[in-house]
Structure 1
């Protein structure tokens, strides 16, 4: 026997080396076992697919509402405050929607049977548009439930806006009414003061015996020179001032007009919306889980691995017993 034959014989008898051909032969001889394991794994996979809860995701994209959708709200603000509307009332309406929707997300997640509802930015770093999605156990339910949740938040935000406007209408009405009363009191006081001044001038004219006008130009008459109009003229002026209506400034009538405009507001009938669809809730055509193809492929691979392990383990055990 040559030296080369001894080396080959030594390698083939080395227990630490693996003979791939021998492994293939063992696996081929145990193919029935492997096939059985694969079939069992496929059956289990099919059973899992039959009973596993399906997950379907419906998605929608929303953004800031159109001007027409909040026209009544903006018009009411203009009537109430004009160009000086508080910034807190002119806040981004979609911000209200996003906040309320996020609260609903947390509520659904903390239920005993949690529901997966999400809201996030469509483009990272940009506030709008927003992507909202819902995971349901069927495509139709996911789409329907997402639409219902969006509508629920829209109704909630619209009601909040109406309540805010109602509170501001009440406050503004009270403020304007108080302003009118104040201006009326001031106008009455001015009228009373005017009459007192004429009465004082009449008293001086009677004491001085001035009964007829002593001046020709009445527009230059002052409080000190009013007695020169004569007692007859002053008595006539007092009677005229007593029946004369109160004199108001232009601000009084502007305030009254604002109050009338506010009283005609009927915000409760306005249809307000806090969002606009960029993409309506989709009807998913592919479920998220379970994945049929991936599940079956994994079942075949896992069944084959288990079958191969059984065959090799059984042969190794037989060899060990034979040596023993």
Structure 2
């Protein structure tokens, strides 16, 4: 009993000690919380008291942002989208290509192949940095722009590189991201909307003219090669025909001399079963080794009168060439006429505008309202930090 009474007393005393300890801890923590609340309120009071400093700082930075926003060089971007040209856009050029194919009997010719080939050349030229440099080298706009912004040739080249990398952009839409996307997107950024539109239009026209000039050069080269090949064939037929004619004349002349020596005036039927060689004047396609004219052993039996008539005919009459000779001659004449037509200028476009170069109505840079807001907010934040930091360090 005594032990139980003792344990109970110890338990009660311990409970009161623990309770008193907790109360002391709570009391000791309360002033710190109150101090924290008092410090935060004090800081707000400090900011309010120094609100003029915060406002002036915010105004100062907003003013700097405004100065930059209204003095920085503006940037306006004109955009265009091109696709493959229509058959109607090809005009006279397509008819020349078709005529070329008809003259040479090219069965694989289609207008779609011509259109696709021309547009593919246009697309390759758009992405070519060399073509871009050639354009700006002859551009009056770039000459004026470089004179105003570049002091020497190195600065001019750097300026040109920046324009090629940042201002003149050519892209092909990603079909995976946008299945409905078409054509080639071209954009150019300048300091005024008018300059952006004009330079972009000039660039596309320059690429078009260059592509058409190069394609015309290739076309004229194809015509020249075709004419040269046909002329070679024509010369070969002439040489072969003249050679056959010469063999005929030599054989007949030899036979005539033999007939005169033998006193054979007329064709003699006593030749029996002897085979008299037959010959075809102008048959240039018969190889000499297979021609009966190469064997003149029995020609004298035709008689002096008949042989003399044949010799006179070969000597006095013009050579009659095979049909293929006159066909080639006509082809050459048509190709020469086509070459003259191809040298004339014609209005052709190697592209079709899905969207022509627009006149930009929204400025890309500077974003004046955004810059003013950023400047004001940044100034306000820096002003608050200045006031609070000064207060904290002064207390310490």
TM tier, smaller? 0.7 to 0.9
The answer on whether the counterparts of 1:79 and 1:258 sit within 8 Å (CA) in structure 2 is no
Task: Say which of 77, 81, 84 aligns to 1:61.
Answer: 81
Q: CA deviation at 1:93?
A: 1.9
Task: Say which of 31, 37, 59 aligns to 1:9.
Answer: 31
1:181 alignment counterpart: 235
What's the secondary structure of 1:83's corresponding residue? coil
2:51 paired with 1:51: no
CA distance in 2, matches of 1:306, 1:32: 13
CA distance in 1, matches of 2:40, 2:322: 108
The verdict on how the C-alpha distance between 1:121 and 1:315 changes in structure 2, with shifts beyond 3 A counting, is same
2:364 paired with 1:291: no
The verdict on how the C-alpha distance between 1:143 and 1:237 changes in structure 2, with shifts beyond 3 A counting, is same
What's the secondary structure of 2:343's corresponding residue? helix
The answer on whether the counterparts of 2:70 and 2:368 sit within 8 Å (CA) in structure 1 is no
2:349 alignment counterpart: 273
The answer on whether the counterparts of 1:54 and 1:137 sit within 8 Å (CA) in structure 2 is yes
2:157 paired with 1:111: yes
Q: CA deviation at 1:9?
A: 1.1
Q: CA deviation at 1:310?
A: 1.5
How high is the TM-score relative to the length of structure 1?
0.82
CA distance in 1, matches of 2:222, 2:267: 57
Gaps of 5+ in 2: 1-19, 137-141, 143-155, 278-291
The answer on whether the counterparts of 2:104 and 2:331 sit within 8 Å (CA) in structure 1 is no
**Worse-matched range after superposition: 31-40 or 98-107:** 98-107
Aligned pairs for 1:203-222 (under 5 A) are 203-206=257-260, 209-214=263-268, 221-222=276-277
Q: CA deviation at 1:156?
A: 1.8
Aligned pairs for 1:73-84 (under 5 A) are 74-75=97-98, 77-78=100-101, 82-83=105-106
CA distance in 1, matches of 2:38, 2:300: 136
Task: Say which of 121, 132, 155 aligns to 1:96.
Answer: 121
> For 1:273-320, what per-residue CA distance to the aligned partner results, in whole angstroms no more than 9, with x for missing partners?
332212101112212111123212211210111111121122113212
CA distance in 2, matches of 1:256, 1:128: 47
The verdict on how the C-alpha distance between 1:29 and 1:171 changes in structure 2, with shifts beyond 3 A counting, is same
Q: CA deviation at 1:128?
A: 6.5
Q: CA RMSD in A?
A: 3.4
1:255 alignment counterpart: 328
1:202 alignment counterpart: 256
Q: CA deviation at 1:20?
A: 4.2
Task: Say which of 52, 59, 67 aligns to 1:32.
Answer: 52
CA distance in 1, matches of 2:38, 2:240: 111
**Worse-matched range after superposition: 222-231 or 121-130:** 121-130
Gaps of 5+ in 1: none
2:215 alignment counterpart: 161
Task: Say which of 36, 43, 51 aligns to 1:23.
Answer: 43
CA distance in 2, matches of 1:12, 1:159: 87
What's the secondary structure of 1:285's corresponding residue? coil
Q: CA deviation at 1:155?
A: 1.6
CA distance in 1, matches of 2:96, 2:170: 25
How high is the TM-score relative to the length of structure 2?
0.69
**Worse-matched range after superposition: 271-280 or 74-83:** 74-83
1:240 alignment counterpart: 313
